[in-house]
Amino acid sequence: MMNIGLKLKLLYLVLGIQAASQMFAQDITGTATNLVVQGAALTPASQEYTFTEGPAVDLKGNVYFTDQPNDRILKWSKKHGLEVWMQPSGRANGLYFDDQGNLLACADEHNQLWKIGLDKQVTVLIDHFDGKLLNGPNDLWIDPSGGIYFTDPFYQRDYWDHSEQEIEQECVYYLPPGAGHPRVVDADYQRPNGIIGTPDGKKLYVADIQGSKINVYDIAPNGDLQNRRLFAPMGSDGMTLDNQGNVYLTGDGVTVVNPSGEKILHIQVPEQWTANVTFGGKKEKTLFITAMKSLYTLEMNVHGVRWNH
């Protein structure tokens, strides 16, 4: 028989979880709250990390993300929950899956871009540009043809053995399919960070986190960026898209902006900083949010567009 003290502890725990869920639910505001399942609450999947980043979804809906200071990539799956997938991991930051099931990673420890196979064997795709060390690939997106766009800001790390930039400008790069060297597609950034493109490969969104703006481009057939214009007057750490074309921005919680650049939803996250976001789970209808020490989930009426469900 359960003793009274234990019953009370369990009761307090349940009440605490309910109160937290109600608080999180009330912190979803805006003109498009119907994007979120009615009554859904922001739910912590785990709060045992140091700084989470780079969520990416595979073809099965499993979500991979990084705990960068602890040099590991973790995996969430419906079947097994949370588990360490790879450690060490090059202090990976942004992640993205290609169509062959390889996980591409911005290997911050080495200023490189990696391709990690299903067997966890690493291929270094990029380690220099014009003979110079990259600043630190941060986030990436793969277009429908297999070309890779990535941002390369400079954030000084205490685990590097260098302290000066070899490349003065902080640029957006493009690595064409099958190419061995990337090219600069925009060098006019204070500090590029989050990046995401539309599934048809026609538009690319890039955050200038220091310049407090999101730019949007038209993508030319050769991968060049054209017709740059301001999309939203705010920066973002990481970004994703839903099937309605809304863009999800991070930093102060998650801000959702419609295709016209208008803010339509804000999801308050109880952490100092929200780093990144993606859709995953069954039919990609769960929003996964990496925020400092935690991974959060939120059930949505919309879904992600990574695998064209």
pLDDT, residue 17, reads: 39
pLDDT in tens, 143-172: 999 999 999 999 999 899 989 999 999 999
Classify 109 as helix, strand or coil: helix
10 inside domain = no
4 inside domain = no
15 inside domain = no
6 inside domain = no
Q: Which conformational region is residue 81 in: left (phi greater than 0), alpha (psi within -120 to 50 degrees), or beta?
A: left
249 inside domain = yes
Give the range of the structural domain holding residue 121, as residue numbers without chain letter.
29-299
Residue 35 corresponds to which tokens in the numbers above?
Answer: 């994007």
Contact 307, 284 (CB under 8 A): yes
92 inside domain = yes
* CA–CA dist 89, 85 (Å, integer): 9
Classify 187 as helix, strand or coil: coil
Q: How large is the average pLDDT for residues 45-74?
A: 96
Measured CA to CA in angstroms, residue 89 lies from 83, 123, 134, 218, 272 at distances of 14, 12, 18, 33, 25
pTM score: 0.91
Domain count, the chain: 1
Which CATH number goes with the domain that contains 88? 2.120.10.30
The conformation of residue 223, written as its DSSP 8-state character, comes to: S
Q: Which amino acid is at 7?
A: K
Q: How large is the average pLDDT for residues 288-304?
A: 97
Residue 140 corresponds to which tokens in the numbers above?
Answer: 């990436």
22 inside domain = no
287 inside domain = yes
